[in-house]
Structure formats: structure tokens, C-alpha cells
Amino acid sequence: MWDMALTEEQREIRDLARRIAREQIEPVRAELDEKEEFPWEIMKVLAEAGLFGVYIPEEYGGFGKGIYELCLVTEELSKVCGGVAVSYAACGLGSYPFILMGSEEQKKKYLPQIASGKKLAAFCITESGAGSDAGGIRTVARKDGDYYYLTGTKQWITNGSVADIYTVIALTDKSKGPRGASAFIVEKDFPGLSFGKKEKKLGIRASSTTEVVLDECRVPKENLISREGMGFVVAMRTFDYTRPGVAAQALGIAGGAFEYALQYAHTRKQFGKPISSFQAVNHMLADMATQIEAARALIYSTAQMIDAGKAKNISKLSAMCKLLASDTAMKVTTDAIQILGGYGYMKDYPVEKMFRDAKITQIYEGTNQIQRNVIASELIKEVVSEHKK
């Protein structure tokens, strides 16, 4: 259905990402997963294809498109490997803070480097004691002359040690709590920046997830995004824009698992006939396809509204996208394993990996319980606003 709504240029972007996924990523996805190896060569291919620039304005070296195109690419890559896809998509999460609220100088300096794929980006907010409670961060930023000095440890950072440009949320005024947080652009070679533990994960194992350690990390004052005290505004606005991207990752994982299960059901025979002829399997396939199409419709309609500047209730819609798509990914990959039976449980078949990759989409960029809180809060605001009219 959504294929018909794509422009010729969007279709070309989608098809390019699909071809790279099938030709470059699929042959090595199992090896990357097994070795927990960051896909540097694939990142180079994506860079050469120009796909890092799809959501970056033309004046900064990008294609001048938006969230819709970022979702198209992320979905296609995720159909084959969630770990590779998130390594790509995390650059959007790392760069959207200054796309949305950065100065003209910051955009000119950093966005062309990201658009070209020469440098990767990452977003640093999570800490050991601040996950769902993002307001509990303890990383501090002390201003002294022309520099801020950042101290603290960020945890579970996607693209951790492999990125070159980091958006870091730190407290410039601890007495104000979350209202005392600020956002900074930190370069990899700034004095005082290092990396701690590299995590061993259940899924998305090709991606690099590490601690980012700031020990009096010296950051020029011009790398402050917006102004002091705007850190959580920057972070929450960024999430509103990027959660459809996480949803697209979940959608792609679900789509890849469904396509494999459908082909398997058509060729696998039991009791002398393809298992796709059995009603129990038919119903599972029908439910999987319906859930995927519902998630896709919500994600891409939301992305269109965001790009058009018409999404007044963006927080609610983005949270709905992430919630629906990630729950769908978990359900579809579980059912895909069931359709393959014993084979589905084995690493020789990709649905086992897709099942492991799907789980994190219910957790990062806000757990699905947090998404439900966001949705309910926005619904209540709408009711209160309506009653005031």
C-alpha cells in the first residue's frame, strides 16, 4: 500500500537501501553477529551511496529530505540486520539535536561530516542510575572561561567508541534538577573523553554499545546547543523526531522475519502438503501481515506529518509508533520461530537472530511502559484543553 505513495526519488532511496541490505549485509550478518564486529565496511558502502545524508538539509551536504526517508532506509536495512541498521540510524539520533536546535555555526561545522558518512554520531543521555528516569543524570558540566568541563559516565551508548561526534546531556546547574541540564557537542579527540566497557548483548550484536567516560572533558563554549538549561528540551524534542526511526527499525525486523516465515511455510511440507495450507499457520501469517501493515501505516503517516510540520501532537504519535512497531516486532519474530518449528530455534536460520534483535526495540529510546505514559499524558492534556474551550 505505502509503495504506491512513494515519490520516484523516495522509491530510489528505498531500492538503493534494499539492494545494499541484500547484496552487502545479508552475506555477512551472521558473522557480524557471532563475532560482535562493528560493520565498518558496510558503513563505508552506505556513505558512498549517500544514505547518511538523506535527512540532512542540502545546505549542509545532505539530500534535504527528512524523517520519512530516514525511516525508509532504516526499515530496509533492518529487514536484514538490526545491528547494522541501528549503527546507521544512531547517527540521526546523535545529529538531530543540533539539526533542530543548533546554531548555524554548529550545523555548518558538523552536519557535512555526518552527511558524507566520514564521521559517525552518537547520543549520550543514559547513565547507570538514569534510564527511564532521564532526569536522574549525574554528569556535570562546569564552566571556566571559554570552556565547559564535563565529568560523568554515560552508559549503553549506541555507536559508543566508534563515533566521532557526540551529543552529551549534562547538568550545568545541579540545584535545578532536569531544568539545569544542558546539551553539548563533544568531539572524540577532546581532552578527557574516553571509553569504558563494551557491552555483550542479546541482540543487535554488530552495533557498538559502550560506556562513554568524561573526565573533566574540555568542550568549547560554542559547542553548547541552544543555551544553558535547555538540555532536556533538546533531548525530548529529539526523541519526538527520532522515535519513528526506532519504530522503522522494529518494523524492518518484523518484515524480514515475516518474509522468511512466509517463504518457509510455502516450501516446508508436513503430512504430504505445505504447512501454509494448514489453517493454524494461515491465521498466524494473516495476523503477522496485518500487524506489520498497521505499524507501517502509523509510522509513515506520522513521518509525513513531522516532515510537513503538521504534527501538533508529535509526542503522542511518535510514542505510538515506537510502541506499536516494537510490540509487533516481538510478536512477529516469536511467531516466525514457531512457524519454522525446531529450525527457527537454530542459528542456521535468521529468525533466531531477528527474535533477539527485536527485543531491544521495546527498551531503548524509552521503554514501552514509558511510551504508554507519554501517550496517556498527551491524551489527558488534549481532554483538559478541550474542556477549557
- In 3D space, the residue among 25, 123, 40 whose CA is nearest the CA of residue 81 turns out to be 25
Element containing residue 107 per DSSP (H, E): helix 104-115
Catalytic residue among 259, 365, 378, 382: 365
Residue 228: left if φ>0, alpha if ψ -120 to 50, beta else—which one? Answer: beta
Q: What single-letter amino acid sits at 175?
A: S
CB 24 within 8 A of CB 39: no
- In 3D space, the residue among 57, 41, 45, 59 whose CA is nearest the CA of residue 17 turns out to be 45
Catalytic site residue 365?
yes
In the beta sheet, which residues pair with residue 153?
213
Query: CA 32, CA 225: separation in Å to the nearest integer?
Result: 35
Query: CA 175, CA 208: separation in Å to the nearest integer?
Result: 34
Phi, psi dihedral angles at 293 (to 5 degrees): -65, -35
Exposed/middle/buried for residue 388 (C-beta within 10 Å: 0-12, 13-18, 19+): exposed
CB 116 within 8 A of CB 109: no
Query: CA 157, CA 97: separation in Å to the nearest integer?
Result: 16
- Residues with a catalytic annotation lie at 365
